[in-house]
Amino acid sequence: MPETITITDNRTGDSIEIPIVNNGVSAAEWSKLLPGIWFFDPGFMATAACESAITYLDGEAGILRYRGYPIEQLAEQSTFLEVAYLLLYGELPTKEQFEHWKREITYHTFIHENVRKRFLEGFHYDAHPMGMLVSAVAALSTFYLDAKGIFDHESRQKQIIRLIAKMPTLAAAAHRFSVGMPFVYPDNSLDFTSNFLSMMWKVAEPRFEANPVLARALDILFILHADHEQNCSTTAMRVVGSSHADPYSATAAAAAALYGPRHGGANEQVIKMLMEIGHVDNVPAFIEEVKAGSERLMGFGHRVYKSYDPRAKIIKRTADEVFEVTGKNPLLDIALKLEEIALQDEYFLSRRLYPNVDFYSGLIYQAMGFPLEMFPVLFAIPRTVGWLAHWQELLDQDSKLARPRQVYIGPDARDYVPMSQR
Ligand code: CMC
């Protein structure tokens, strides 16, 4: 059986045979037969925009792998910083490589005083921390003018390290400002996640000691959120990166894409939904409303996964460990009941709607004390690694400027009418 497709233009009878390579067919080949006829694919539902060797995702089978390694093994045995190295450089680091990597990240966590004093403290007192983060990341490009040298290997690595290292500092600074607490400087003696928790929660103690169970749980959540191939924000990163903008500007664009409730904001919506339901007894009635179309079961369904999101399974286990420390989130019972009913209901089964990564992550964040506004910020910290891995891959591929076509549906040519005659 040949691994090809044949397309015939019925207007002319001309045909072309196109090979299927890695489950894709070349649009350039298609254009040889049909110049000026475009695939109409809003939302890129059936378009592969690039070749990528970073993350493998099989939504039918519920498989997620970073550089070939199953997400389950990484979540169980690895750390976020090691996974970051893997995503960026393709292999797990040796001991020496990891020590060097950790040191580089640790010693780039400080931000320029002007970013904090002049820039972050200039926001309105009730500014949303995600809005602050998006703007602060963009502003970093004005502090690191060498970032424009995107094809200079050394400069590129420096910006990658700075971005990964400074993201938690900016994130915590945005939170502290929004609750009126003084800024906490990074503590270079702490690991990546514990340092972030210290910058978030430290009050008057000389050194903040994060609970190791909570620090490990957050590290696992960071691993699970580090990359997810061509999602909305990564696509934004690639599109902006394709214009050869500096990585701070491109990361700000990606973070802006993550801000929306359909992407990084969904776990906040889950908590709001659980609070609205209010009690386990109200779950069946809520499910009926979802089925009638007047509500949406947030944290369920996914564009790509048509079975249980593998990240959701890991998060559910992690939630149990966190609740042993923090006490059970009172919303958990409602979530469990929702899942139990939905997974037996024909409406959800026939549409292949299962819990996604956001169904339980918000419960963990809330139990740890993070305010709802910080949820997308908590997503942006680890996803910065995925964005940068894709940005680097894109530049090494010497990819084209992203510039899709459109199907024009506006008026035909017409003559300008002077205002006096309209
Ligand atoms: N609750 C109820 N019905 C749903 C839901 C849901 N959460 N999700 C999909 N459906 C129904 C939808 O109404 C449609 O039914 P019908 O065929 O009768 O019209 C069918 O399932 C297909 O839905 P769709 O909207 O065409 O599917 P999509 O691939 O465009 O949507 C989604 C994917 C994630 C936007 C959607 O499932 C959703 O809105 N889920 C809730 C929000 C959410 O949890 N988002 C986080 C996604 S994971 C985060 C990440 O990886 O970045």
Q: What is d(CA 31, CA 36) in angstroms, rounded to the nearest whole number? A: 7
Can you tell me the distance from the alpha carbon of 221 to that of 317, in angstroms, rounded to the nearest whole number?
11
What is the pLDDT at residue 314? 93
Q: Is 303 in the pocket of ligand 1 (CB under 6 A)?
A: yes
In a domain, 174, yes or no: no
Q: Is 300 in the pocket of ligand 1 (CB under 6 A)?
A: yes
The pTM for the full model equals: 0.93
Task: Convert the pLDDT of each residue in 351-373 to its tens digit.
Answer: 999 998 888 899 999 999 999 99
Return the pLDDT at 152.
96
Q: Which residues contact 411 (CB under 8 A, 6 or more apart)?
A: none
Check residue 409 and give its pLDDT: 96
CA distances to 21, 229, 250, 415 from 53, in Å = 15, 9, 20, 51
CA distance 80 to 225: 10
Give the model's pLDDT for residue 374.
95
Q: Looking at the domain assignment, is residue 273 inside a domain?
A: yes
Does residue 257 register a pLDDT over 90?
yes
Sheet holding 69-70, edge to edge: 55-58, 63-66, 69-70
- 228 CB within 6 A, ligand 1: yes
DSSP 3-state of 143 = coil
Residue 129's pLDDT band (boundaries 50, 70, 90)? very high
Instruction: Please tell me the distance between residue 127's alpha carbon and the centre of ligand 1 in angstroms.
Output: 30
Alpha-carbon 317 to chain mean position = 21
Average pLDDT for residues 175-179, to the nearest whole number?
92
Please work out whether the CB of residue 376 comes within 6 Å of at least one atom of ligand 1. no
Stretch (H or E) spanning 108 = none
For residue 263 and ligand 1, the question of a CB distance below 6 A is answered with yes
- Res. 203 pLDDT band, cuts 50 70 90: very high
Q: Over 90: is that where the pLDDT of 266 sits?
A: no
- Exposure b/e, 67-77, CB count within 10 A at least 16 = b: beeebeebbee
Ligand 1 binding pocket includes 299 (Cβ within 6 Å): yes
Which of the residues are catalytic? 263, 302, 358
Q: Reply yes or no on whether the pLDDT at 184 is more than 90.
A: yes
The residues, ordered by sequence, that sit 6+ positions from 366 with a Cβ below 8 Å of its Cβ are: 271, 329, 331, 372
Structure tokens at 414: 């017409």
Are 377 and 178 in contact, with CB atoms under 8 Å apart?
no
Which residues constitute the domain of residue 328?
39-70+216-248+257-379+391-400
Separation of CA 294 and ligand 1 centre (Å): 14
* Ligand 1, atom nearest to 296 Cα: 1
Domain annotation covers residue 317: yes
User: What single letter denotes the amino acid at residue 354?
Assistant: Y
Whether the CB-CB separation of 200 and 186 falls below 8 Å is answered with no
Q: Are strands 63-66 and 15-21 parallel, antiparallel or unpaired?
A: unpaired
Classify residue 57: in a domain, yes or no.
Answer: yes
Of ligand 1's listed atoms, the one at least distance from the Cα of 299 is: 44
- pLDDT digit string (tens) for 221-251? 999 999 999 999 999 999 999 999 999 999 9
Residue 242 included in any domain: yes
Q: Is residue 172 part of a domain?
A: no
The answer to whether position 98 is within a domain reads no
Q: Whose Cα sits closest to atom 32 in ligand 1?
A: 302
- The CA-based angle 216-358-251, given to 5 degrees, is 80
Lowest mean pLDDT among 9-23, 153-167, 260-274: 260-274
Structure tokens at 50: 């690039």
Helix/strand/coil for 62: coil
Please give the distance, rounded to the nearest whole angstrom, from the Cα atom of residue 93 to the centre of ligand 1: 38
Whole-number average pLDDT of the chain: 94
Q: Whose CA is nearest to atom 24 of ligand 1?
A: 303
Number of domains in the chain: 1
Nearest C-alpha to atom 29 of ligand 1 is from which residue? 303
Read off the pLDDT band of 326 (50, 70, 90).
very high
Helical pair 192-201 and 95-106, crossing angle rounded to 10 deg: 20
Which positions ≥6 away from 413 have C-beta within 8 Å? none
Q: Which amino acid, 158? A: K
Residue 349 forms part of a structural domain: yes
Q: What is the pLDDT of residues 310-321, one digit of tens each?
A: 998 899 889 999
- In 5-94, alpha helices (H): 27-33, 71-77, 80-89
List the one residue out of 241, 21, 270, 235 whose CA is nearest residue 151.
241
**Contact call for residues 25 and 19 (beta carbons, < 8 A):** yes
State the Cα–Cα distance between residues 389 and 66, nearest whole angstrom: 11
Mutate-to-test residue for ligand 1 from 303, 343, 348, highest number of ligand atoms within 8 A of CB: 303
| Gap from CA of 21 to ligand 1 centroid (Å) | 30
In the predicted model, what is the mean pLDDT of residues 46-75? Answer: 95
Q: What CATH number does residue 51 fall under?
A: 1.10.230.10
